[in-house]
């Protein structure tokens, strides 16, 4: 099947649609990426051109194909213990503050949110780090919410199964403690053990939608997500994150990101680390 090229008109329409639905800002330099990824959706759905596909998604689709389209457009790149300085900061500063607590009262309940969790390496890394620092059977009540807009990567995250190459950054002692080695048809793969998986709840969530959470978080990790948003969307999201945090709670963003130029209420702590005070 031969497809027509993605015209400027079609690119602009899809860009506007993606921005409206999930806040991702697709500038002109992303045209080839959009053409390639939506071209794959055309092949899978049988549409002959981008115009027909756009009409379907905006006029006839009940919502399922829109989700698949956003899955195709969103970029999901992650790894275990990515951006090591964040994990050092957790161990050296954040976790000890939970033990000391406010006014010397130890934290008994800890809530974390991995916003843009991709295929799960980030929340599982956090779960490992928490389990290493705290005795999760006798320590505080710990729960991690892990969300992403992509149903595809969430499916991978929920399974918690990774090829050996994906866990190369995990120390051998932690691999033995927190992963189950595959055998037979699963040779070369490792599955996260249930003691970690029971700490995490995976959900699909679109960050530009209103936050439905009834409880506030001690820490929100949203790394390498806001880089895809324009300043207006970054500002809205940063302030929603602020409201979703407990006092003294932290926000981690990607090391290639900054809130400079964004009107927000956070205190700057160090590159990519902000705190609600």
For 248, left (φ over 0), alpha (ψ -120 to 50), or beta?
A: left
Is 263 a known active-site residue?
Answer: no
Encoded tokens for 174: 């932690």
State the catalytic residue, choosing from 13, 37, 191, 204. Answer: 37
Is 148 noted as a catalytic residue in this protein?
yes
Q: Edge-to-edge strands of the sheet including 179-181?
A: 161-163, 189-192, 179-181
3-state class of 113 per DSSP?
Answer: strand
| Selected catalytic residue, list 35, 111, 148, 223 | 148
In this structure, the strands spanning 161-163 and 273-275 are unpaired
Query: Distance between CA atoms of 256 and 272, rounded to whole angstroms?
Result: 8
Q: Are 115 and 221 in contact (CB under 8 A)?
A: yes
- Cite the active site residues: 37, 148
């Amino acid at each position: 099947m031969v497809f027509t090229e993605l015209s400027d008109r079609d690119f602009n329409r899809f860009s506007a649609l993606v921005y409206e639905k999930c806040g991702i800002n697709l500038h002109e330099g992303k045209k080839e990426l959009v053409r390639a990824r939506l071209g794959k959706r055309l092949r899978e759905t049988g549409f002959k051109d981008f115009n027909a596909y756009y009409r379907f998604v905006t006029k006839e689709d009940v919502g399922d194909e829109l989700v698949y389209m956003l899955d195709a457009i969103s970029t999901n790149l992650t790894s275990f213990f990515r951006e090591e300085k964040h994990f050092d900061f957790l161990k050296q500063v954040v976790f000890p503050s939970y033990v000391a607590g406010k006014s010397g009262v130890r934290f008994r309940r800890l809530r974390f949110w991995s916003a843009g969790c991709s295929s799960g390496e980030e929340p599982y890394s956090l779960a490992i780090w928490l389990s290493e620092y705290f005795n999760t059977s006798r320590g505080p009540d710990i729960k991690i919410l892990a969300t992403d807009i992509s149903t595809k990567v969430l499916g991978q995250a929920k399974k918690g199964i990774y090829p050996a190459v994906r866990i190369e950054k995990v120390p051998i002692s932690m691999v033995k403690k927190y992963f189950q080695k595959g055998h037979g048809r699963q040779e070369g793969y490792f599955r996260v053990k249930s003691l970690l998986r029971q700490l995490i709840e995976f959900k699909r969530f679109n960050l530009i939608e209103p936050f439905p959470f009834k409880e506030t978080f001690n820490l929100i990790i949203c790394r390498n997500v806001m880089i895809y948003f324009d300043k207006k969307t970054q500002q809205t999201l940063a302030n929603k994150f602020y409201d979703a945090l407990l006092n003294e709670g932290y926000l981690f963003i990607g090391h290639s990101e900054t809130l400079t130029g964004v009107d927000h209420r956070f205190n700057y702590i160090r590159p990519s680390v902000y705190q609600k005070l």
